[in-house]
Structure 1
């Protein structure tokens, strides 16, 4: 088995010169296992005129807000930077959300609506040309060194590449260590700059740790003469909830949070797809607690990843010019509204996820309560890098918030999309009994409201000022003028593209 965490990358990296390749080889040889060598790598030397900033983007999988309390380094990031408290995933399935993050476009514009073909998956994003226009292509095109490590889009499988062949590497990525099938954290195959590399089932093969080693190696080979964007994309804490061996016995007494919507006593006002679920019994609650504990254990390796990357940046003198962005592709419910586990709803546990940013000039300890979304990440990265923001993106740059500037005009609403139910058993988000598997819907979240329209005609409405847990569906009591306003807003957002999205989202 070739772990390759300290190898000098091949492929496109060679075109940046023999000198850079030689330096990388010296560093990897001296360090042995990357980041654990006998001496720290030399500090980078600043280039004249001041370098463009680096960006490290750590994107987790299904990480809900209730896990942040168990991540000390993430909590420290909140003290050191800006927390976006109303950051919304516009689709709560992995592939649509990640396609939106890459492109800055809503799922109805990426055309990636599900995890699997024909309506989604990597095959859809690749087939419709989505990979030709992402933050990776614009950043690399402007001189950035870019790398993706970990989870890509569902359906991208380097293990299927024939022996001796190269796995596809999307445009825009200088370095590439990716798969879509690392959920078990062992026995997976990474495409390492196009070469499929198989990993086994030993503790050293634990995927989050392998990605951490590669990230440290990438930072150790960086200089201030060329900025970089590193996307570290974990499979944690997605099911089947496999922690690193060193964390497997931690938090023995932890239980899933018992918020107001946990095992909701009355769901008669909910849409018909939920009516079949009885209250969760003691054994079911015990299972929820057991799985929640596995999620808490899993994020310990992610938290350690953050610490090791931060240390590598400091060792190289790069920390003062690097933005660190921590986020999740979507949330995860565990017992809310009688739904045992999963995602796919428009309720808070599934759509409202962490976004925390630290870096040069970022105000410390600030909370931003405005509505933000995963459509905003691409334009944010591009503005930080001084790259012109494409007028085709649906989102808005968050840079004014990161600079502490007053923001006089911002959105009042955000669109949430779901094409369901999930019906393919091969889908990693295929739900078990009682998990919740909603049919297709569109929803709009305003500053204080959640309004949902199902394709079958049912509606939900919640006043989030008094009912943040979405327990009391008031659609039947909603005044007709306000209902019509929200329906019109939803229709405008469903049809929007680019600038029209940034105009429609200011409606109320």
Structure 2
């Protein structure tokens, strides 16, 4: 509802100067003007005598929220996404946003609930230690932000990738394919990684998409997302929409219109690329030989394909933000862009994958635009995916989810810094059992690190592996994490980091805030 402006009636009456009248006539006119003014003021204040109410006197409509979650999108792809760069210019970038586990299903379980993996109990992509079934059995769907927003009056929509192990045809004992609680509209795929030849559960109806250019999944999600915005944008009811793309996850299939683009592009060559000496690294990584020419060529080809894939994601963001502006609701809508984890391609001799505690895997882009968010701002405080559910609910004026380990980022969006904010990020990871069905199977065997817990501070990365090995990187002098100085770490410093790490690994709810601060 647009705000109705109420001008004092005298401002209108003055536009025509009345002729002189007798005193009795002037008195009558004064009484008339007084009555008109009183009636107008009553209307403007929402009194019973007015036909219209000013928007300011009605309960303010809660903001709309759009969350674009990508899959395996690393920071080095942002340079090739002009619409995301525009979001950075228009809004706020979290410069230190870290994932609690660089793995799809565990990350998403944390995003939905605001809880660390050790509290969601989702530790891998498949049972018995993870996957959709474990998430569901542990109450993840009921504890996610979806039902809370829906109960608060939001029209909610979920599009794209949900959780590893979710099949769009699952009936869950009912007559139609299952739609989880909390979602007014549901357009979700299971195996959408190839971007073609998939099924979508569309509000309980199973729809098959083939291999035509218009079936490209990211574009289908863009169409459905834009359609939802058009339908929901004119309603008095606020809306929340999450579009969760499979892009740029492997097998790296781009839309046909971008298949021949970026032909000369190569993967970034940071100092960590094809690391010269890994003798100081833990045993799982120490076994890797240097990458040869063919391996590097495959990495370059894969990076080009990833850049091609994210062009469709970028197009989608441009379309949705453009539609918000056309409808005149862009100033009432927060748009959040981010990724479930990073992705290494050549760093530390690793061909392609994630799951490590290195920054390339855990440090991801998160950018926000919307009402009250200053243009071109950056936040240097530590943020994690534990904070997303509390933030979405906070934007809706709701408290954080019960048992959430994270905190709302809303104060940062308003230019404030909350007191007692964390000074470290927790990263925890359980090595999954190898499976041919795992879409996150590493490209280079053995590829994946052993089980570990890690803590990332402003100036250090400290990792404790389940087999007793340790890593420590002094990020002030070694930002590329080349020199594992664990054996040279002073005992007092090691004890301090280990104690803080263990406190984080055991924390739950409010105790996580104090555990994240230096002791």
**Distance in 1 between residues matched to 2:173 and 2:147, nearest whole Å:** 29
- From 315, 325, 328, the equivalent of 2:336 is 325
**Distance in 2 between residues matched to 1:270 and 1:308, nearest whole Å:** 45
Q: CA deviation at 1:433?
A: 2.5
**Where does residue 506 of structure 1 map in the other structure?**
517
**Where does residue 490 of structure 1 map in the other structure?**
501
Q: CA deviation at 1:467?
A: 1.3
**Distance in 2 between residues matched to 1:433 and 1:449, nearest whole Å:** 27
Cα 1:81–1:435 change in 2 (3 A) is: farther
TM-score, reference length from structure 1: 0.89
**Between 319-328 and 462-471, the greater mean CA deviation after superposition:** 462-471
Instruction: Establish whether residue 147 from structure 1 lines up as the match of residue 157 from structure 2.
Output: yes
**Where does residue 367 of structure 1 map in the other structure?**
378
**Where does residue 413 of structure 1 map in the other structure?**
424
**Where does residue 137 of structure 2 map in the other structure?**
127
Q: After superposition, what is the alpha-carbon deviation per residue over 1:336-376, rounded to whole angstroms, capped at 9, x for unaligned?
A: 00001100100011000000000011011111111110000
**Distance in 2 between residues matched to 1:291 and 1:425, nearest whole Å:** 20
**Distance in 2 between residues matched to 1:74 and 1:153, nearest whole Å:** 25
Instruction: Establish whether residue 467 from structure 1 lines up as the match of residue 473 from structure 2.
Output: no
Gaps of 5+ in 1: 1-44
Contact 1:422/1:437 (CA < 8 Å) preserved in 2? no
Cα 1:164–1:417 change in 2 (3 A) is: closer
SS at match of 1:176: strand
**Distance in 2 between residues matched to 1:499 and 1:409, nearest whole Å:** 12
SS at match of 1:371: strand
Contact 1:340/1:434 (CA < 8 Å) preserved in 2? no
**Distance in 2 between residues matched to 1:426 and 1:161, nearest whole Å:** 22
SS at match of 2:401: coil
Contact 1:150/1:177 (CA < 8 Å) preserved in 2? yes
**Between 152-161 and 244-253, the greater mean CA deviation after superposition:** 152-161
**Between 388-397 and 286-295, the greater mean CA deviation after superposition:** 388-397
Q: CA deviation at 1:194?
A: 1.6
SS at match of 1:97: helix
**Where does residue 425 of structure 1 map in the other structure?**
436
Instruction: Establish whether residue 196 from structure 1 lines up as the match of residue 196 from structure 2.
Output: no
Instruction: Establish whether residue 68 from structure 1 lines up as the match of residue 61 from structure 2.
Output: no
**Where does residue 476 of structure 1 map in the other structure?**
487
Q: CA deviation at 1:391?
A: 4.4
**Between 348-357 and 364-373, the greater mean CA deviation after superposition:** 364-373
**Where does residue 114 of structure 2 map in the other structure?**
104
Q: CA deviation at 1:179?
A: 2.1
**Superposed counterparts of 1:17-28, under 5 Å:** none
TM-score, reference length from structure 2: 0.87
SS at match of 1:178: strand
Contact 2:142/2:181 (CA < 8 Å) preserved in 1? yes
Instruction: Establish whether residue 176 from structure 1 lines up as the match of residue 176 from structure 2.
Output: no
Contact 1:100/1:374 (CA < 8 Å) preserved in 2? yes
**Between 405-414 and 423-432, the greater mean CA deviation after superposition:** 405-414
**Distance in 2 between residues matched to 1:341 and 1:435, nearest whole Å:** 12
**Where does residue 8 of structure 1 map in the other structure?**
none
Contact 1:443/1:450 (CA < 8 Å) preserved in 2? yes
Instruction: Establish whether residue 342 from structure 1 lines up as the match of residue 353 from structure 2.
Output: yes
Instruction: Establish whether residue 257 from structure 1 lines up as the match of residue 284 from structure 2.
Output: no
Q: CA deviation at 1:408?
A: 3.8
**Where does residue 395 of structure 1 map in the other structure?**
406
Q: CA deviation at 1:161?
A: 5.3
Q: After superposition, what is the alpha-carbon deviation per residue over 1:276-304, rounded to whole angstroms, capped at 9, x for unaligned?
A: 21100111111100000000000000000
Q: After superposition, what is the alpha-carbon deviation per residue over 1:14-40, rounded to whole angstroms, capped at 9, x for unaligned?
A: xxxxxxxxxxxxxxxxxxxxxxxxxxx
Instruction: Establish whether residue 379 from structure 1 lines up as the match of residue 383 from structure 2.
Output: no
- From 116, 121, 127, the equivalent of 2:126 is 116
Q: CA deviation at 1:463?
A: 1.0
Instruction: Establish whether residue 158 from structure 1 lines up as the match of residue 160 from structure 2.
Output: no
Q: CA deviation at 1:421?
A: 4.2
SS at match of 1:87: strand
**Distance in 1 between residues matched to 2:403 and 2:174, nearest whole Å:** 39
Contact 1:46/1:225 (CA < 8 Å) preserved in 2? no
**Distance in 2 between residues matched to 1:422 and 1:444, nearest whole Å:** 24
**Distance in 2 between residues matched to 1:299 and 1:56, nearest whole Å:** 18
**Where does residue 45 of structure 2 map in the other structure?**
none
**Root-mean-square deviation over aligned CA pairs:** 1.7
**Distance in 2 between residues matched to 1:358 and 1:397, nearest whole Å:** 16
Q: After superposition, what is the alpha-carbon deviation per residue over 1:305-328, rounded to whole angstroms, capped at 9, x for unaligned?
A: 001101111122211100000000
**Where does residue 136 of structure 1 map in the other structure?**
146
Gaps of 5+ in 2: 1-53
Q: CA deviation at 1:435?
A: 7.0
Q: CA deviation at 1:466?
A: 1.4
**Distance in 2 between residues matched to 1:106 and 1:164, nearest whole Å:** 32
Q: After superposition, what is the alpha-carbon deviation per residue over 1:73-103, rounded to whole angstroms, capped at 9, x for unaligned?
A: 0001001111001100101110000010000
Total equivalences in the alignment: 464
**Where does residue 445 of structure 1 map in the other structure?**
456
